[in-house]
Structure 1
Amino acid sequence: MLTLNWNIIWTFVNILILFFFLKKFLFKPVTEMIEKREELINNSLQNAEEVKSEAFKLKEEYEGELSHAGDEASKIINDAREKAALETNRQLKETREEAARILQEASKTIELERQKSIQNAQAEIAGIAMLAASKIINKNMDDDANKQFLGDFVKEVGASK
């Protein structure tokens, strides 16, 4: 016949009781802790992905701004070159106009000096002619008559040119 060994039954019951205690006090808290840890890791991974995508967006924006800044710098440089060229042309034009004005003034001054020289030469010639005429005539006229005679003489000399 079969005999029942109570030791085996008690061992089996002890194992079952131990299993329920372990399940209640060890497995359940450990499982909850593992689930929390898994959730924390998943959230961290999700946040990392969001940060990574945001970083890529920022990188693209900065690259776009950098490209735009390069274009803007090129535009500023080109504008500065154009302004410099315009200013150079304006200054050259002013310089040419000033040179033309100076040449015109110099021509006027030369013409005035020439006229003065001609008048001085005419006056000297008239004086010499008067001196020669007075020696020839042997008479000396008064100053008013000299001036009238001189004027007539200069007119004749000027008309003969």
Structure 2
Amino acid sequence: MDILNTLGINFKSIIIQGVGFLILLFVLKKFLFGKISAIMKARTDEVKNTYEKTEKDRAEAERLMLEYQKKLTEAEAEAARKVQEAINEGNRISEEIVKRAKEEVEQIRLKAQESIEQERKRALADIRNQVVTLSVLASSKIIQQSISQKTAEKLVDDFIEEIGELSVR
């Protein structure tokens, strides 16, 4: 012990200091370390929860982005389908309009032909009436000039032949 005394180490003071240290350690553990541990545990839990929430939010964001892209693709496909339907409908309507126009042109052409035919018949009827009138006049003049019966018959036959040719045309 002399060596310890010479070195200036006192056992009593070491023991007192050791007991004081243990009391301080107990007091710190009782009042301070428990609160610090609780704060550290709460902070650790908070960081862990924040990390988990961030991961969930990131996963949800990815899911929403994929869903958005899917819906966008579907919307684009739907828009393309509707545009194609509109083009097809436009083509169908234009074909229908062209068909109706052709039918109307054909009807107008047929009516024009009928009208021309009626005018031709009317003109032929007028010409026949005029020929009859002229033949009556010619007959009366022939009768007045007293030509021979044979000449009169020949004139009437020729005249009837010409009328027949007109009606054939």
Give the TM bin, normalised by the shorter chain.
Answer: 0.7 to 0.9
Alignment of 1:2-151 (within 5 A): 6-138=12-144
Equivalent residue letter for 1:119: A
Alpha-carbon RMSD across the aligned residues, in angstroms, is 2.3
Equivalent residue letter for 2:64: L
Larger relative CO (CA 8 A, sep 6+): 1 or 2? 2
TM-score w.r.t. the length of structure 2 is 0.77
User: Per-residue deviation at 1:58?
Assistant: 0.9
TM-score w.r.t. the length of structure 1 is 0.81
Equivalent residue letter for 1:88: S
Distance 1:88 1:11 in 2: 108
Identity of aligned residues (%): 31
Equivalent residue letter for 1:52: R
Equivalent residue letter for 2:132: A
**CA radius of gyration, larger in:** 2
Distance 1:135 1:154 in 2: 17
User: Per-residue deviation at 1:117?
Assistant: 0.9
Mind listing any 5+ residue stretches in structure 1 that lack a counterpart? 139-152
Distance 1:112 1:154 in 2: 24
